[in-house]
Amino acid sequence: MHADDLRYRNDREQANSLLEDPAVKRVREFIEKQEEKGPTGLRRRLLSTSVRLSRKMAPDIYKLSDECVERLSMEIPLELYVYASPQFNAMCFKPEEGRLYVMFSSALLESFSPKELQFVMGHEFGHYIYDHHAIPIGYLVKGQQRPDPKLALRLFAWSRNAEVSADRAGAYCAQDFSSVASGLFKLASGLTSSVVKFDLDEFLNQVDDMQAVDSEPGQGAPEGDWFSTHPFSPLRVKALQLFFRSAMMTAEGGISIDELDVGVQRTMSLMEPSYLDGRSDEAIAMRNLFFAGALAVADAHGGITQAEIDAFEQFFDDGEYSDKLNVARIKEELPQRIQRAKEQSTEPQRMQVLRDLCVIAMADPPMHDQERALLHGIADGLGVSRTFVSQTVEHDIEPD
């Protein structure tokens, strides 16, 4: 498998969209003009403030990095550095003078097992192979001209999704889920001693508790989460657990790539405003599609039943449905809403809406041919495989 195939689709699609944003283009042009004047002196600063690791000094570390380089098909000279710090940290710098520079804290190198360290290495290399440095988020959010709120939300959401891609690269290098999970636990807790014993199930229970706190209709994630560049560590472990169960990492019986990305989208949504109450263009397009699609699906066979109304109002407020709604007119608008959602949202986001529409279709079982045909039509319009509808309705599903 090629490393590019591992990349999370939300990362790729959001990055492509951001690169077309006028504000992002302006900052990129400014940086390019500065780089035309010559190197920034990055290597000189690293040589003066940290220790460069040679193969003679750190043969075991270079063995791990060589394995990562081979797995990820990297073709760039590499220099590794270590700096004195009690914190667990690592960073990958934008290539300069034809070299890639990666730096680790001393605490991380001394406290992480080989496989844990290999995950961290692969993660940092992932930022390079997926060209995450192409979007200068630091310049954009900390510069003199701050981005407008919508662009800021898009940047932070992309940054979190970029971390998912980098995590996958690291996991692909390490090939060991338990080491990946324990490494993320160490990064989150700062603990390495036997005083606290790492327990994967207990760590992942934090995700369930987050979901319970956010479970009120329309609640979504707290606003503070929206402006975080990294997903919370338990969410990263949950996303990687799905990754290791997918066809990407399991020879037989793994979940499909579509199921993987929808599962990750649901997990990552714990740090994002719900599309049911978000104010971004994609959230509005998704919400408008779901509103029309839900009514159309419910009305597809024999009219809208009370069970379907109850399911509809689990997503919206009680009383949102009214028999005064002009369902026929709303159904006429469905193709335009499908097209708008396709233009504004990423494929995993569109799949999330389609999954929620399946909840409506299954509210009053069995699912009828008319409902399935309508879901297939919506899937076609959104550019999502019809197989995803079949896979979704064959599982037990309920509103998030």
362-400 per-position pLDDT tens digit: 888 888 889 999 999 999 999 888 888 887 776 544 343
Dihedral over alpha carbons 15, 17, 22, 28 (to 10 degrees): 20
Position 143 pLDDT exceeds 90? no
pLDDT, mean of residues 329-346:
92
Across all residues in the chain, what is the average pLDDT?
87
At residue 319, the pLDDT reads 67
How far apart are the C-alpha atoms of 66 and 274, rounded to whole Å?
42
Q: Which CATH architecture has domain 281-393?
A: Orthogonal Bundle (1.10)
Q: What span, in angstroms and rounded, lies between the C-alpha atoms of 196 and 37?
A: 51
Average pLDDT over residues 177-188: 92
Q: Where in the chain is the domain with CATH 1.10.3680?
A: 281-393
Worst-scoring range by mean pLDDT, 68-77, 120-129, 180-189, 196-205? 196-205
Q: CA–CA separation, 81 vs 282, rounded Å?
A: 41
Model confidence band, residue 26 (pLDDT cutoffs 50, 70, 90): very high
- The reported pLDDT for the residue numbered 229 is 72
Helix axes 347-361, 281-298, angle to 10 degrees: 30
- Give the CA dihedral 146, 148, 153, 154, nearest 10 degrees: -100
SS3 323: coil
Q: Which helix (H) or strand (E) holds 392?
A: helix 386-393
| CA-based torsion, 285, 288, 290, 293: positive or negative | negative
pLDDT for the residue 217: 38
Q: pLDDT tens for residues 112-129? A: 999 999 999 999 999 999
- What element of type H or E holds 94? strand 90-96
Is 243 a residue whose pLDDT tops 50? Answer: yes
